[in-house]
Structure 1
Amino acid sequence: MRVLVTGGAGFIGSNFVHHLLETTNHRVLTLDALTYAGTTENLSGVLDHDRHRFVEGDIRDEELVDELVEACDVIVNFAAESHVDRSIRDAEPFVETNVDGTRTLLDAALEHDIDRFVQISTDEVYGTIESGSFGEDDPLNPRNPYSATKAGADLLALSYYTTHDLPVMVTRSSNNYGPRQHREKLIPKFITRAAAGEDLPLYGDGSNVREWLYVKDNCRAVKSVLDDGQPGEVYNIGSGTELTNLEVTKQILDVVGGSKDQIEFVEDRPGHDQRYSLDTTKLRSLGWEPKWEFRDGLKATRDYYL
């Protein structure tokens, strides 16, 4: 099988490229614009693999996308602007890449009769939840420009299934962490700052709850959906491990060897969702379950960055 992985030099995308080349015989074509979060360093060890080809380019480039999609059987779309803080400062690139870029891929997939199209999304499209967990059929309530554009891309992708019978599936994962993540994100940022003896700027009172998923478990889940998911369906991907940002910060200090005096509470960001939580019953019915405990994943992440 020939797999086009867009955004494949970013955090989750590059881990997925590694996963495919290590566990399958698929041929992998990686497309990435190499913006601030994507780098060929994330593909170190597989960049020149005999079953891998890397192309630098933008998913909004219709001519390039058409050429690459024609050469593939399936598409897994990781390409996205993905940092909430950046979307609050400037929403335009999020709309252009996350929505219109996805539309470009969908049109090419339709033109070339692609076998399967997996749209990678996020739990943030559901918004915040005080208790319980979101199921795939719950209404979407994005509360920042990033999650709003991801929700728009989800709905657009699913509309191509309903309207054109394009075999689209959507995955919505909880917060990922692990190797190759941009250092602006909470866990790599705090690991490196803690090790350097610097302050750890924590939004609000640190009580916001996230469900933490080790990136390799997410890659396995996406592969399960690619292989066995049903077109037109959405699959939540979560670990069941819910921790406040303060609890995560304290665990980082513990595994790195820093001091709690490094924690600095700062003004909360606008529209900061209090809690995310996902029901993963549908995904588990495909035979997937997480393998990594948070503490083990955190230690592996620490070792990668330090």
Structure 2
Amino acid sequence: MAKNKKVLITGADGFIGSHLTEALVREGYDVRAFVLYNSFNTWGWLDHCAEDVKGNFEVFAGDVRDPYGVKRAMEGCEMVFHLAALIAIPYSYHSPDTYIDTNIKGTLNILQAAQELNVSHIIHTSTSEVYGTAQFVPITENHPLQGQSPYSASKIGADQLALSFYRSFDTPVSIIRPFNTYGPRQSARAIIPTVISQIAAGVKEIKLGALHPTRDFNYVEDTVRGFISAATHSQAIGEEINIGSNYEISIGDTVKLISEVMGRTIEIIADDARMRPEKSEVTRLWADNSKAKQLIEWEPEYAGIEGFKNGLKKTTEWFLNQENLIRYKSDLYNI
């Protein structure tokens, strides 16, 4: 990917998208950040981006569900990082129609505009949730897909739509499949920010859902490097690529590790409101990242137990900054 190349990032106002925006600006790319239009004229996390990045990217406010707006946003861009999506699993039980519109129709709008505008590369964001509970570990890209929530079903649909455009029209698409990304700016509906924000707020009894499921956590800097690595390797076109640490840990042990890192003693309280339906709960995720190493020369810097601890330390430091913590409602459960 040549420097000064014009790139569009959808979902640039979100957790991973804002970090990716900062990284690409710092590497000298001409970045257009697609943020969700709202009457408050807020740009999500880009309102709080690093000082060296502020003013050095263009903002386009719109909605990926609008094909006209998507095409306008993509005009003049050689590459698109498509991160815009609805991702909260509990909310997908509540409002599945919005997930189909945003995640599938939004992706269709990106793909169709790319066809008309001759975009050179689309990096489409998938999720480890498309695999469902692991049928074998570590999970390779050949693992069966299983929709265990409306969210994961919508992402399977979006992934397959993207691959269908590659196979039908030679649309230059790469599927990047991050496992559980964590770090500064993540929504408190996710497990790690939920625990950190509650402890940081002085709570000693932490409300959580199921503790037995395992996850493969990835620090956001590693995930961002995965996106950029895919964009710089043409071999990634037409491929599905796991971005994972190849390290499995249970939710219960993750909570213990966070309390250890923060030097606090806590008690875990089971909260029925945070439990997923039994058949919907993904009980095991563990990534095989060998394809990423071979194809796009990517591997995690925050790997294994020590890497995870280092990532948690950086995450807790960010949350313990009162300017950041004040933006979270740690006493409320947000689906």
Please report the TM-score for the alignment, with normalisation by the length of structure 1: 0.94
In the alignment, structure 1 segments of 5+ residues that lack a partner are none
SS at match of 1:300: helix
Structure 1 residue 56 displacement after superposition: 1.6
The question of 1:69 aligning with 2:74 is answered yes
Q: Write the letter of the residue equivalent to 2:11.
A: G
Contact 2:7/2:30 (8 A) holds in 1: yes
In the other structure, the counterpart of 2:325 is none
Measured after TM superposition, the shift of residue 242 of structure 1 is 1.2
Q: 2:239 matched to 1:233?
A: yes
Question: Which one of 100, 119, 131 corresponds to residue 124 of structure 2?
Answer: 119
Measured on the aligned residues, the alpha-carbon RMSD in Å equals 1.7
Q: Deviations over 1:210-256 (max 9, x none)?
A: 00000100110111111104321111110122110011111111222
Structure 1 pair 34/251, CA: closer, same or farther in 2 (3 Å)? farther
> What is the alpha-carbon distance in structure 2 between the residues aligned to residue 42 and residue 121 of structure 1?
26
CA shift in 2, pair 1:38/1:49, >3 Å: closer
**CA apart distance, 1:94:** 1.0
When structure 1 is superposed on structure 2, of 189-198 and 143-152 the one drifting more is 189-198
Provide the rounded CA distance (Å) in 2 between the counterparts of 1:146 and 1:37: 24
**Residue in 2 aligned with 1:272?**
281
User: What corresponds to 1:49 in structure 2?
Assistant: 55
Partner residue in 2 for 1:78: 83
Residue segments in structure 2 that go unaligned for 5+ positions in a row:
321-335
Say how many residue pairs are matched. Answer: 302
Superposed displacement of residue 130, structure 1: 5.2
Task: Please give the per-residue CA displacement for 1:40-70, whole angstroms capped at 9, x wherever unaligned.
Answer: 33434366433x1012211122222112212
Q: Deviations over 1:244-302 (max 9, x none)?
A: 001111111122232232x1123331111110122111110122111121000001000
Question: 2:139 maps to what in 1?
Answer: 134
Hey, what's the Cα distance between the residues in 1 that align with 2:148 and 2:43?
A: 23
Q: Measured at CA, do residues 65 and 34 of structure 1 come closer, stay the same or move farther in structure 2, by a change above 3 Å? A: closer
Moved more, 175-184 or 34-43: 34-43
Contact 1:255 1:299 (8 Å CA) reproduced? yes
* Aligned-residue identity in percent: 34
Deviation at 1:115, TM superposition (A): 0.1
1:33 to 25, 33, 36: 36
Which amino acid in the other structure matches residue 64 of structure 2? I
Residue pair 2:208, 2:271 contacting (<8 A) in 1 also: yes
